Amino acid sequence: MNEIEDLFPRGGENAAYAKYFLGKSYLNMLSLEGVVIGNVTFEPGCRNNWHVHHAKSGGGQILLCTAGYGWYQEWGKPARKLAPGDVVNIPAGVKHWHGAAKDSWFAHVAVEVPGEDCSNEWLEIVDDEQYEKLA
């Protein structure tokens, strides 16, 4: 199992969003002023459900990968393997998920892009059949 060294403090269990994740994740808010920024750490195999960041204008999320290995996938596209130093720009309106590789912890910083009337729509899980295919 690929352990990681935390760059930003891991924080506590991501209880507020646990119902939208398979597996255990940890959330530490790095900034609540100006731009909302959180550090998210996923245990091996942990991933969030398919979801969409909605906004009337602006919105979406930028991921800055800091440790371990993970995945990002947009609906209808092949999954992209993520490693430290990778950056993912997730536009508003795009159905996607992200999470750890099955054999590695994973951490990314999530930068919330400010927007008008922002909301998140949480959808179906990334089931084992989809997830086990990734390599």
Contact residues for its own copies (CB under 8 A)? 6-9, 30-31, 33-35, 37, 58, 60, 62, 64, 66, 84-85, 87, 89, 91, 109, 111, 113-114
Nearer to its own copies, 9 or 120 (CB): 9
Tell me the sheet residues that pair with 106: 42, 68
Q: How far is the CB of 111 from its own copies (least distance, A)?
A: 6
Nearer to its own copies, 22 or 113 (CB): 113
What whole-number distance in Å separates Cα of residue 103 and Cα of residue 69?
8
Nearer to its own copies, 22 or 90 (CB): 90
Q: How far is the CB of 133 from its own copies (least distance, A)?
A: 29
What whole-number distance in Å separates Cα of residue 68 and Cα of residue 41?
9
**Phi–psi pair at 110, nearest 5 degrees:** -110, 115
C-alpha radius of gyration, the chain, whole number: 14
Q: How far is the CB of 72 from its own copies (least distance, A)?
A: 15
Tell me the sheet residues that pair with 87: 64
